[in-house]
Amino acid sequence: MNRKTKFLIPTFAAVFALAFVFVTPYVMAEGDYEGHSKWGAKHQGMNKAVTVDGFTGSIPIPEDFDKETMKALKEQVSVTLIDAATAAEDNGLSNVMKASIGIVKNENGDKYVAWVLAGMSMEDDTITKNIFVVDAGNVENTGSITKSFDLSHIEEMKSQWKDHESNFSGDHEAMKEKFRELHE
């Protein structure tokens, strides 16, 4: 093999590999494949508002919400995360697992900017999620909701899956045996 061929074969392999790496995502994005393109305009604002009955915040969110409105709302926020966490702890929410500034909606559909702090506790077969809300403009204005989830049906689902799994494993062995027979 001469010197030119020694360098030419790896060069072609490298060019092919690079072409594959750069072209594949574009080819996959065409047609019916949604990939990352599914996170378009229709999925914007996926963070849903937390509904707390009787909550009236000091920073209302208008119906016509745009970037300029968002900047104006950010300037109105006067309560810090530390203040919100302290208020939550003072009201009995000690196991905060998640905290973020978000949208709180009351029973009338009015939306306000507020700190949303969430904590969870588990007892036996029940998970309880405590959501505490602190108004972003007034730390004294708070609200809370509690949601409970019963997990007792999960054990039943696991036992049903094990029954199906045992049935499948017999079929699996039978299929393996047939493949062995075919290849002999």
Fold designation for 47-150: Nuclear Transport Factor 2; Chain: A, (3.10.450)
Rounded CA gap, 162 and 40, in Å?
Answer: 40
pTM across the whole model: 0.58
**CA distances (Å), origin 61, targets 73, 75, 110, 113, 143:** 8, 13, 8, 7, 18
Burial of 139 (0-12, 13-18, 19+ CB in 10 A): middle
In the chain, how long is the greatest CA-to-CA distance?
A: 84
| Assigned token pair, 51 | 């509904």
Q: Residue-wise pLDDT tens for the chain (184 aa)?
A: 677 777 788 888 888 888 777 776 665 554 444 544 444 444 444 457 888 888 989 999 988 878 888 888 888 999 999 999 999 989 888 788 889 898 899 898 899 999 999 988 888 778 888 899 999 999 999 999 988 888 777 777 777 666 655 555 556 677 777 777 777 6
Task: Please state whether beta strands 50-51 and 142-150 pair in parallel, antiparallel, or not at all (unpaired).
Answer: unpaired
Per-residue pLDDT of 126-161, as tens digits, reads: 888 889 999 999 999 999 998 888 877 777 777 766
Rounded CA gap, 120 and 97, in Å?
Answer: 7
